[in-house]
A = this chain, B = another copy of it.
């Protein structure tokens, strides 16, 4: 049975390289899409600098008001990787070398030049933490309380999310239907508003675009209830039809 409570999460993307515009973030969309499948709503994302005070503030605000908090970035071996220390500070705990992480890294680097002091930094965790496996480079992610500390490199984060799949309690997933239409959204604004109002637990989002020299929009209908979602979608399709416009199932 699907839990009827709504489970929420927040994400903190840590890294000067995102805020400088040098690196285009790819973790927000992958974490967002993964959470949808787990039945967990992503409520807020913050991108913060490699700065202890900024990380501590974001961590303490967001962990308190969400079921889960995810972070990406800042867990490598170099001096600018300060995420573990900042989260330990936010939690008011010390930082320890996790014995399993040390063993994993020791095996990984056995044929790669040995476990140097810099590499051993990647075994440091807030006291009381568990590990999230990383099958790519050995260096694990970290779970402590309701916080999941993941890598900045998107392919490694993908592996960590894969390791977490199905392990977190979620609620009813937010279902969605998308329909597209070659129409300016302002031409159907009244219809969208009226249709949403007539279907209590449904939301309709409107996403305009310009392609092939034409104006169009995709309408995304969302609900946790499959029947209500279908009814709202059918009403919107019928409303568009009544005004002489064909809806494209699945969007344009």
Residues on A lying within 8 angstroms of B by beta carbon are 13, 16-26, 28-36, 41-50, 54, 76-80, 112-113, 116-119, 121-122, 153, 174, 176, 184-187, 189-190, 192-193, 196, 203-209, 220, 222
Contacts and interface: CB of A to CB of B under 8 A. Distances in A.
Contacts of A207: 17, 23
Given A25-B25, A36-B20, A220-B17, A189 B118 contact: yes
A66 to B, nearest CB: 12
Q: How many copies does the complex hold?
A: 2
Contact of A32 (B19, B54, B186, B187): B19
A31 to B, nearest CB: 8
A28 B32 contact: no
A79 B222 CA distance: 15
B32 A43 contact: no
A100 B36 CA distance: 42
B203 A16 contact: yes
Given A17-B207, A32-B20, A36-B21, A192 B46 contact: no
Given A16-B205, A44-B48, A77 B25 contact: no
B209 A153 contact: yes
A41 to B, nearest CB: 8
A28 B44 contact: no
Contact of A46 (B44, B77, B196, B205): B44
Nearest to A139: B186
A18 B32 contact: yes
Contacts of A17: 205, 207, 220
Given A44-B46, A203-B16, A77 B185 contact: yes
Contacts of A117: 190
A165 to B, nearest CB: 15
Contacts of A50: 205
Contacts of A208: 76, 153
